[in-house]
Amino acid sequence: MIKAVAVDMDGTFLDSQGQYDRERFEGIFQTMLEKDVRFIVASGNQYYQLRSFFPEKEEQITFVSENGALIFKNREVLKENHFTDNLVQELLAFLQAESSELEVVVCGLKSAYMLKSATQRFKEFSALYYFQLAELDSFADLPEDVIVKFALDVPVDQAPKVVADLNEAFKDQITAVSSGHGSIDIIIPGITKGSSIQWLLDQWGIAPNELAAFGDANNDLEMLALTEHSYAMKECSPDVLATAKNQAPSHNEAGVLQVLEGLLS
């Protein structure tokens, strides 16, 4: 019996236009509430962006944001993991010296932060994913906040070197991962969507195989590995296809909703 559902957003729950069938989901969500099935939104994106997709439902949903670093419920933080202040400063100094073409968003609990000098292209791109986003004259002006992730943008041909340099310079202190197209995330080692969802399941007394999980990208692997009821979307990475036990239809065909209707019936 399914007692919890965890969904990635981009490429999984959302279609290519960043939308979902809200009317269809309404019926599914009401069934989940009636059956006491927990609904978890698990994404690399910012909490404030994620909750905007579920107006009037946000207090009934658990949000695992920033690839597992932050867990929110009822607008409150249930659990958080962050870098030390010293490591944040060391990383910023390293990034400044690494490449003059590198751009960065520093992701905190209260807000995300970027430089006023960032390119307009990067500002517009970042605004899609960070609804709480402040522009600073310098990262020396970072407000009092805990930092949970760094999101980088570099020329595509520089990305492999930047990832390798970061992981070598800060071995065991950070994990740098490329998500393609010159995008790089610096995350906390050992903190993933999977580890955070396992923590939630433990709190709720739910067994891993009572979870249904849906994903399409490699930051979903640990989450999908938790349960036999794991679903790779039709358009997914080879690693996701190898890890998930089942396959869902395309995100452009409301694949998650199709599967949930069957699981909850």
Catalytic residues, by residue number, are 8
Contact 63, 72 (CB under 8 A): yes
CA distances to 201, 208, 222, 224, 240 from 195, rounded to whole Å, are 10, 12, 7, 11, 17
Task: Tell the burial category of 74 from Cβ atoms under 10 Å away from its Cβ (0-12, 13-18, 19+).
Answer: exposed
CA distances to 22, 42, 207, 227 from 2, rounded to whole Å, are 22, 17, 10, 11
CA–CA dist 96, 90 (Å, integer): 10
CA–CA dist 73, 58 (Å, integer): 8
Among residues 221, 220, 200, the alpha carbon closest in space to that of 211 is found at 200
Contact 72, 61 (CB under 8 A): no
Task: Return phi, psi of residue 118, to 5°.
Answer: -60, 155
Amino acid at the residue 40:
I
Contact 171, 163 (CB under 8 A): no
Could you identify the residue written with the tokens 């923590």? Answer: 199
